[in-house]
Structure 1
Amino acid sequence: MSRPAPAQVSVANRQGTAQVTRLATSTFVRPRVLGVRGDRVSVALVAACATLLAGDDLRLEIDVGPDSCLELIEPSGTVAYDCRGGRAHWSAVIRVAEGGRLLWPAAPFVVSHGADVHRSTQIELAPGGTVLMRETLVLGRSGEVGGSLRASLSATAGGAPLLVEDLDLTDDRRRSAPGVLGTARVLATVALLGAAPSETAHPHETLLAGPGALRRAVTQHAHDAEAALDPTWERWRQAQPGA
């Protein structure tokens, strides 16, 4: 059985002005241009239907051309619903060319009770390409323990590994152990990849071995995690060219 076609967003720089070169709708996502300002394009990832259900395979392909900037906006979060014995998949492949920039303050990704979802993010950065992104993983809606989640991220910079993670939260007993999540149900991350901040202003901001940095928050509620990460996000965003 073939995989469904991905939603695709590609942008380029044409003589100092951003241009959308590809905007493809999938079964699950309808990209919509919100505006163009100089070398920056803002695109909304609008849900085309209720997702994620058992058997769903939501795929995104993002290409940022040389010296261009793409900002992705999610008007609403993604909810993985009870799969009733099935499984859902979510994946994103991101390619950023030399001098390109991607800003993605992603909305919360909620794993409902009974859900079984695999999430994968692959990022390829050319020299001088950067990604600044937020990710908020929420186990369960209000009053729920939350379903099964396996989330992986692989990022390369100039062909060399920059960040490789494999988060296994498929067993609710193990993930509640001390040193994993404990009693928390939200894991939020701000990641700057392809460039390092001039300084770390918070003890939870961690420099990577290569060009990049992370900050994470583990909380009981999504709004608390996002509030904790807001200062880091704003500081790193303001440091981006053209901010």
Structure 2
Amino acid sequence: MTTTASPSETPYGRVVGVIPARLASTRLPNKVLREVAGEPLLAWVYRAAKACPDFAEVVIAADSPEVQTLCQERGWPCVMTSPELPSGTDRLFAVSRTVEADIYVNVQGDEPLLRPEHIADILSPFAMPHVDVTTLKVLCTAENLNNPNAVKVVTARDGRALYFSRATIPFDRDNTGCVKVWKHLGLYAYRRAALERFASLAQGELEQAERLEQLRLLENGLALYVAATEHDTVGVDTEDDLRRVEMILIANPTV
């Protein structure tokens, strides 16, 4: 599938949302096809992404015939990518070979509570021309402080990312209670050139240790900026997450 660029719809150019839909998830296998409130999880994510007006297009990056078949049945744009690709961003790059955009947004396939405000927030740092990549943070709740599935981030004063970790950072040594802990939300937006650069880089020690692909950017000096958002999400990593999201969607299916 090849698309041609349409007129820019944002101040940053043409923005395309890409949903990496990896079937072989290690923590929750087949999760993008798991039923949630009567629909596959991927259906909720696609619906949420399509509701974001900043996207000129939303494309699913599949890695299996099962996901491809669902996309065909539902009429969703889909690009097949290799199941051997190590990260969602590598899958994003594969889509960029055939889908033209100025900015590509990685919408994780397990984020059904995505809101238009998330996309507006994640695009805002691109007003600074030196920014290569952006992502989001939200204040961490007490229940997630020691949860390794809730990744933490620390930034410089201007928003540039300093480090991401599954550990609780920063560490409040004297227990002052004054330090803010920020939870990272797993959405990323890349300028086209930055996405190409990412794909050319090998995994580093930090990325392999934490299993966090964004550390590849930091290890190689790319300008990754983190925008704050008021809206938390529930990424689906476990059976408990699946049930929690289902309760939210049943209570408010228009979330």
Under a length normalisation based on structure 2, what TM-score does the superposition of the two structures give?
0.28
- Alignment TM-score, normalising by the size of structure 1: 0.28
Higher relative contact order, chain-length normalized (CA < 8 Å, sep 6+) = 2
* Greater strand proportion: 1
